[in-house]
Amino acid sequence: MQSVSLVWFRQDLRLHDNPALAEAIDTGRVLPVYILDDTNPGDWKIGSASRWWLHHSLQQLNQTLANKLWVYKGDPRQIIEQLISEHSIENVFWNRCYEPWQVQRDKKIKTELEYLGISVRSFNSALLWEPWTNLKHDDTPYKVFTPFYKNAMQNLFIETPTETKIAKLKAIPCSQTNDKIEQLALMPSLNWYEGIASNWSPGERGAQERLDNFIQRGIENYKVGRDFPALNSVSRLSPHLHYGEISPRQTLHSIAKATQGMQIEANVAHFQRELAWREFSYSLLYYFPFITHRNLNQKFDQFPWVENEALLRLWREGKTGFPIIDAGMRELWHTGYMHNRVRMIVASFLVKNLCIPWQLGAKWFWECLLDADLANNSASWQWVAGSGADASPYFRIFNPVIQSHKFDPEGDYIRSYVPELCSCPSKFKFMIPDQPRLLRLRNTELLSEKTIRCQLWI
């Protein structure tokens, strides 16, 4: 009989360009397994919006595997050891994850399985350059993005996507009931996700459709258009990339092939640079795992932050009275997403205008974002706060009014999410109709109104 290999799906919910699955197919029969691990993550259990996405992504993966995906919830170490015993498994394959808690867990599992005589192999399916492959000459990690990117592009080769011989897959039939994914209880108890469902198609097929749409309608104007939230110039691939429904290798190779001869090299290069920021964030998380909750720059440890629940609630609910801030926060709540330019604006407002710790903003994003990614979320919030690697100086503020004028000049983005301003002429959509409420809170609890005005209008 052919040997049996367990493939442990994690953040690689796809069949194509899946090195672990490809290796298992070449080895013999395959037991494809997904395990929802709420045991090991600690503070970083999957947020509500991401759980909605995961539910639907698993549904599609199970469908493409002809209902042969085995689904569990619990401690992976115990579950995998039980499956090894029940199915006489000889090999265990998985694609690597880089979150600190996953690295620690995976090392323990690999050690224990190898002690039992099981062959264990892991692969890279999520990154163009793994953290240990792009270091400075002294083998220390980069803390500045530009040299990180230049070294990666000059010295490292982007691998071609792995060929997965899907037609040769011999998956072991699953004996679980048809509601196996529902039993994970990933769907939120409150039906607040209707807006999310109407905007997204989780899964490998949805990822390919999103990429095709970007190639047809976005990449040609990406370098300039990506800063304008009302335009369809960004890829919106981030949740698909996070859950591994498509790989960065597939993405870049598809774009290069589709745009050949179009003379839009500057746009393609800028998109590749944005993907590289994701890689930089993973490198930072790998080498400085504390950045999820502590400042990379320790000078900020003594910063006099203010913890004000009333102000934080207004920011979360999109009721600050600053139109572009409120539009961004409402887009986040209703769609599970926020345009990147607006993410920087709302983050700057929370940290530098309201003086609220970046960790509280990062936690809210973690709960509400479909693309909640520990590396990107942590590194990006610290960048805006000024406490991270290659960070924006603390005194640099994304003025919400100037940003509105510059990147939403007709108020189209604001109009989409702040309907109470729809009847206003465009030139008034950047004003602050509800400013007194915010000022009263600050005036009574923190600073004088004069000081606040200086902060808000720098």
Domain with residue 409: its CATH number is: 1.10.579.10
Tokens matching residue 268: 């393609």
Q: Is 266 found in the same domain as 229?
A: yes
Residue 278 makes CB contacts below 8 A (sequence gap 6+) with 241, 248, 373, 375, 376
pLDDT of 436 strictly over 60:
no
Whether residue 38 is contained in a domain is answered as yes
Whether 305 is a known active-site residue: answer yes
Whether residue 179 is contained in a domain is answered as no
- The model's pLDDT over 411-426, given as tens digits with 9 standing for 90+, comes to 999 999 998 888 777 6
Among 53, 333, 358, 383, the one annotated catalytic: 358
Whether 200 is a known active-site residue: answer no
Q: Is 69 found in the same domain as 37?
A: yes
- The model's pLDDT over 303-358, given as tens digits with 9 standing for 90+, comes to 999 989 999 999 999 999 999 999 999 999 999 999 999 999 999 999 999 999 99
So what's the pLDDT on residue 441? 42
Whether 366 is a known active-site residue: answer no
So what's the pLDDT on residue 194? 81
So what's the pLDDT on residue 431? 56
CA pair distance 327, 215, nearest whole angstrom: 27
Whether residue 190 is contained in a domain is answered as no
Query: Residues 286-292: what's their mean pLDDT?
Result: 97
Among 274, 297, 399, 443, the one annotated catalytic: 274
pLDDT of 394 strictly over 70:
yes
Whether residue 269 is contained in a domain is answered as yes
Single residue among 79, 98, 125 that ends a domain in this structure? 125
Whether residue 176 is contained in a domain is answered as no
Q: Is 417 found in the same domain as 339?
A: yes
Q: Is 361 found in the same domain as 264?
A: no
So what's the pLDDT on residue 195? 81
If DSSP states are collapsed to H, E and C, what string results for the chain? CCCEEEEEECCCCCCCCCHHHHHHHHHCEEEEEEEECCCCCHHHCCCHHHHHHHHHHHHHHHHHCCCCCEEEECCHHHHHHHHHHHHCCCEEEEECCCCHHHHHHHHHHHHHHHHCCCEEEEECCCCCCCHHHCCCCCCCCCCCHHHHHHHHHHHCCCCCCCCCCHHHCCECCCCCCCCCCHHHCCCCCCCCCHHHHHHCCCCHHHHHHHHHHHHHHCHHHHHHHCCCCCCCCCCCCHHHHHCCCCCHHHHHHHHHHHCCCCCCHHHHHHHHHHHHHHHHHHHHHHHCHHHHCCCCCHHHHHCCCCCCHHHHHHHHHCCCCCHHHHHHHHHHHHHCCCCHHHHHHHHHHHHHHCCCCHHHHHHHHHHHCCCCCHHHHHHHHHHHHCCCCCCCCCCCCCCHHHHHHHHCCCCHHHHHHCHHHCCCCHHHCCCCCCHHHHHHHHHHHCCCHHHHHHHHCC
Whether residue 309 is contained in a domain is answered as yes
Query: Which CATH number characterizes residue 54's domain?
Result: 3.40.50.620
For residues 211 and 251, the answer to whether their CB atoms sit within 8 Å is yes
Query: Residues 233-248: what's their mean pLDDT?
Result: 97
Q: Is 452 found in the same domain as 308?
A: yes
Single residue among 100, 125, 150 that ends a domain in this structure? 125
Q: Is 148 found in the same domain as 118?
A: no
Whether residue 189 is contained in a domain is answered as no
Q: Is 136 found in the same domain as 16?
A: no
So what's the pLDDT on residue 451? 33
Instruction: Identify the weakest region by mean pLDDT among 255-259, 267-271, 339-343, 434-438.
Output: 434-438
So what's the pLDDT on residue 454? 30
pLDDT of 3 strictly over 80:
yes
Percent of the chain exceeding pLDDT 90 equals 81
| Residue whose tokens read 């899907």 | 166
So what's the pLDDT on residue 1? 63
Among 277, 364, 366, 383, the one annotated catalytic: 277
For residues 354 and 306, the answer to whether their CB atoms sit within 8 Å is yes
Q: Is 235 found in the same domain as 143?
A: yes
- The model's pLDDT over 263-284, given as tens digits with 9 standing for 90+, comes to 899 999 999 999 999 999 999 9
So what's the pLDDT on residue 140? 97
Instruction: Identify the weakest region by mean pLDDT among 199-203, 296-300, 433-437, 440-444.
Output: 440-444
For residues 20 and 123, the answer to whether their CB atoms sit within 8 Å is yes
Single residue among 97, 125, 153 that ends a domain in this structure? 125
- The model's pLDDT over 14-68, given as tens digits with 9 standing for 90+, comes to 999 999 999 999 999 999 999 999 999 999 999 999 999 999 999 999 999 999 9
Neighbours of 168 (CB within 10 A): 10
For residues 23 and 99, the answer to whether their CB atoms sit within 8 Å is no
Among 129, 315, 381, 383, the one annotated catalytic: 381
Q: Is 378 found in the same domain as 274?
A: no
- The model's pLDDT over 58-93, given as tens digits with 9 standing for 90+, comes to 999 999 999 999 999 999 999 999 999 999 999 999
Report the chain's mean pLDDT, rounded to a whole number: 90
So what's the pLDDT on residue 428? 57
Among 151, 213, 340, 399, the one annotated catalytic: 340
Query: Residues 178-206: what's their mean pLDDT?
Result: 91
pLDDT of 427 strictly over 80:
no
Q: Is 152 found in the same domain as 119?
A: no
Whether 274 is a known active-site residue: answer yes
Domain of 148 in residue numbering reads as 127-161+204-287
Among 305, 367, 399, 443, the one annotated catalytic: 305
So what's the pLDDT on residue 437? 45
Whether 277 is a known active-site residue: answer yes
CA distance from start to end of the chain: 72
Q: Is 357 found in the same domain as 264?
A: no
Whether residue 20 is contained in a domain is answered as yes
- The model's pLDDT over 154-188, given as tens digits with 9 standing for 90+, comes to 876 777 888 889 999 999 999 999 999 999 999 98
Whether 129 is a known active-site residue: answer no
Q: Is 255 found in the same domain as 365?
A: no
Query: Which CATH number characterizes residue 139's domain?
Result: 1.25.40.80
Structurally, the chain folds into a number of domains equal to: 3
